[in-house]
Structure 1
Amino acid sequence: MFESLKAWWGDLTHRRDDGRDAGDDTLDDATNALLSILPLVSIVVDEHDEVVRAHPDAYALGVVRDDAIADDTVARAVHEVRSYGGKRQFDLTTTTLHSPKKAPKAGRPSVREMARQSLMGQSQDKPSTSVSRPNWLKVIVGRLNERFVVVLVSDVSDTVRFSQMRDSFIVNVSEQLLKPTQSLEELADALENDSADREVVKESAAKLRRSCAHMKHMVSDLLLLIKAQEPILPTSDNRINVMEQVQAVADAHRQAARQRGIDIEVNGDGSLEVNGDDEQIQTAIAKLLENAISYSPDGKGATVSVKPDEDSSQVLISVIDRGCGIERKEQSRIFERFYRGGNQNERSVDGVGLGLAIVKHVALTHHGSASVWSAPGQGSTFTLTLPAARG
């Protein structure tokens, strides 16, 4: 793709002087036409460092903000080529924060906060933590003419993410294979030595079973994570009712929750719909609900709430628990792959640390976001925010 980008660049830089007046703020029609069909993100900057033309993705990728170059590396390259000519090409990593579309109005709690306040009987004044996603970009910067500098950006994030996911899969599966292999060797030793102690054989077999179950869980989650990398495009065929997905997940977990005296409450708007993959969305909700059950004390409740945001453009799926809560310093990391927090208990200690990473990627592939509000001793509220279906 970067070679193609440089070829397109050659066509652009042949159009440096069209005889227009030096005070003309516009590009010539041929350059505008060429920029409009480029299979990349283009940005044009004038001599005052003002962005006079930018592809919408330039804002989403964090390169442009408020009609100016937002990234210092790109800004320096623009100044260099304007002063000295030539071109600059480099790799760049930016970060896009995925957070709810609007902040709640002053003095008015958000839907998530209202749901939590209703459950906890307390007011919440701490901010929530939302997920972010890095963007891996290849950039070329060069001068179009005496007045304009063009920035061409190729987003290679999907390729990089897939490569990282593949490497994580190979490394972690290889590491996890060692545990059942070791357990299998112990069981084989006990059988080979014709151990008279039946309990030794039984314990070795149980250990092998736990190791295999743990590895099966991890492989399953990694496969789900890999699947949740491809963006979901809204179509008439993938329109789904959110409450139906929530109810299906809640019903599947009620028995396990009741064994510990935990009641799962589901409430909210049953008419809300989103465009998406029902399997991925159910998986994300299930991961959040499983965490709520695992980290809640016996006899406490868990609530799943489905509400629209203030302008009904987003659907908020909130899972609320009365568990141990999460330290503020850990909240920025809990959506990372394989990260395990410091609040593990006997029910969560065998987890693989991929549940919230799956939630994050399901949110991002559905053009939404995931966030958490939590405080030690006050429980947690995880919210999956998805664009509401239109029409």
Structure 2
Amino acid sequence: MRDNRITSQELMALIRVVRRSHRGQEGHLELPSTGLTGTSSNLRVRISNLDEHGRVLVLIDDVSEAQRVDAIRRDFVANISHELKTPIGALSLLSEAVAGASDNPELVKHFAAKMGVTSHRLTELVQQIINLSRLQDANPLQEFELVSLTDVINQAIALCLTNAESRKIAIDFDIQEDLKVFADKEQLVMAIQNLVENAINYSPHNTRVSIAVRGEHEKIEILVKDQGIGIPEADLERIFERFYRVDPARSRETGGTGLGLSIVKHVAANHGGEVKVWSRPGEGSTFTFTIPRSKLPSKGVD
């Protein structure tokens, strides 16, 4: 609309059809963006004839957000299907190999061990999908309480110790005081665990992962630093996307699901915060997870 006049030619064409035929019409229109986002608006239009004088009733419903969410869900389902195919297919092949090697106990043990590893990766992937789904559907205000960051980080470290010890990676934790924050404790533990696991998985053996906490005025920063392979600049903006992997081959080697950093992003958003990364190839990475001290969030992310 401009100066109380309809400017869309497509909409005016539908109105003229209704006036001529005296029959209602439905249609979809795409309007170009007039804002800074650069995204167009998708509208569902219903037009009904009111009387013989040409007056019509026009109902317009902006379905842009619904279509965007639907596209995200379809993409998510497609990605899940693709990611599940690999371990399920591997289990099928390994079961056939076990059956074919029934007269060779050593081969049976070898294939059974591989089945165990693949089964563990499949279980981890399914659990990460469940975690991400809960984060997207949950009310971020529901489980908030005053929690100790020392407790949160110690719990997260404990969940990562087996992986760290197997790779001979030391985990250092430095906190000057036991800071407390209003948060969902389970979500925070999940986020820090994913950051630490990510640091371990992409670091060489016999290196260190460092965790530090800084309290600055109205916000708290949790920094997770590794001595790993680093991230190319071209990948930095995409690493928080679901199922995005900087190095797919290394992800298969480490058992990464491609969902960990996306979970971290959702937890930060649920707490009214954000997560950022600094990295250079060969110089390691530093992830900074920032949340307000007491400000409660208004909404999460998709």
Aligned-residue offset at 1:377: 1.6
SS of 2:262's partner is helix
Q: Does 1:366 align with 2:261?
A: no
Task: Give 1:220's aligned residue.
Answer: 127
C-alpha separation in 1, matches of 2:294 and 2:112: 50
Which runs of no fewer than 5 residues in structure 2 stay unpaired? Answer: 9-28, 45-59, 297-302
Tell me, yes or no, if the aligned pair for 1:367 and 1:386 is still in contact at 8 Å: yes
Tell me, yes or no, if the aligned pair for 2:231 and 2:285 is still in contact at 8 Å: yes
SS of 1:82's partner is coil
Task: Give 1:351's aligned residue.
Answer: 256
Aligned-residue offset at 1:368: 1.0
Aligned-residue offset at 1:270: 3.3
TM-score when scaled to structure 1? 0.56
C-alpha separation in 1, matches of 2:220 and 2:31: 36
User: Which one of 220, 226, 233 corresponds to residue 328 of structure 1?
Assistant: 233
Q: Does 1:205 align with 2:112?
A: yes
* Alpha-carbon displacement from aligned partner over 1:334-380 (angstroms, at most 9, x marks no partner): 11111111386488542121111111111122221111000112111
Matches within 5 A, 1:182-261: 182-188=90-96, 190-191=98-99, 195-229=102-136, 230=138, 232-233=140-141, 237-261=144-168
C-alpha separation in 1, matches of 2:260 and 2:127: 11
TM-score when scaled to structure 2? 0.70
Q: 1:346 to 1:314 in 2, by over 3 A?
A: closer
Tell me, yes or no, if the aligned pair for 2:128 and 2:260 is still in contact at 8 Å: yes
Matches within 5 A, 1:296-307: 296-307=203-214
Q: 1:168 to 1:190 in 2, by over 3 A?
A: same
SS of 2:222's partner is strand
Task: Give 2:287's aligned residue.
Answer: 382
One-letter identity of the residue aligned with 1:184: S
Which runs of no fewer than 5 residues in structure 1 stay unpaired? Answer: 1-80, 97-133, 141-151
Q: Aligned-residue CA RMSD in angstroms?
A: 3.7
Task: Give 1:61's aligned residue.
Answer: none
Q: Does 1:172 align with 2:80?
A: yes
Tell me, yes or no, if the aligned pair for 2:173 and 2:212 is still in contact at 8 Å: yes
Matches within 5 A, 1:1-391: 81-82=1-2, 85-86=5-6, 90=30, 157=65, 160-161=68-69, 164-165=72-73, 168-169=76-77, 172-173=80-81, 176-177=84-85, 179-188=87-96, 190-191=98-99, 195-229=102-136, 230=138, 232-233=140-141, 237-309=144-216, 312-342=217-247, 345=250, 348-389=253-294
Q: 1:234 to 1:204 in 2, by over 3 A?
A: closer
Q: 1:348 to 1:308 in 2, by over 3 A?
A: farther
Q: Please say which of residues 295-304 and 201-210 is displaced more in the overlay.
A: 201-210
Q: 1:181 to 1:160 in 2, by over 3 A?
A: same
Q: 1:295 to 1:283 in 2, by over 3 A?
A: same
Task: Give 2:49's aligned residue.
Answer: none
Q: 1:135 to 1:266 in 2, by over 3 A?
A: farther
Aligned-residue offset at 1:91: 7.1
SS of 2:122's partner is helix
Q: 1:328 to 1:162 in 2, by over 3 A?
A: same
One-letter identity of the residue aligned with 1:333: R
Tell me, yes or no, if the aligned pair for 1:325 and 1:376 is still in contact at 8 Å: yes
One-letter identity of the residue aligned with 1:313: E
* Alpha-carbon displacement from aligned partner over 1:71-91 (angstroms, at most 9, x marks no partner): xxxxxxxxxx22571276757
Q: 1:162 to 1:228 in 2, by over 3 A?
A: farther
Aligned-residue offset at 1:307: 0.9
Tell me, yes or no, if the aligned pair for 1:177 and 1:215 is still in contact at 8 Å: no
Aligned-residue offset at 1:281: 1.1
Tell me, yes or no, if the aligned pair for 2:213 and 2:221 is still in contact at 8 Å: yes
One-letter identity of the residue aligned with 1:321: D
C-alpha separation in 2, matches of 1:378 and 1:225: 30
C-alpha separation in 1, matches of 2:176 and 2:62: 41
C-alpha separation in 1, matches of 2:41 and 2:177: 41
C-alpha separation in 2, matches of 1:85 and 1:384: 49
Higher relative contact order (CA 8 A, sep 6+): 1
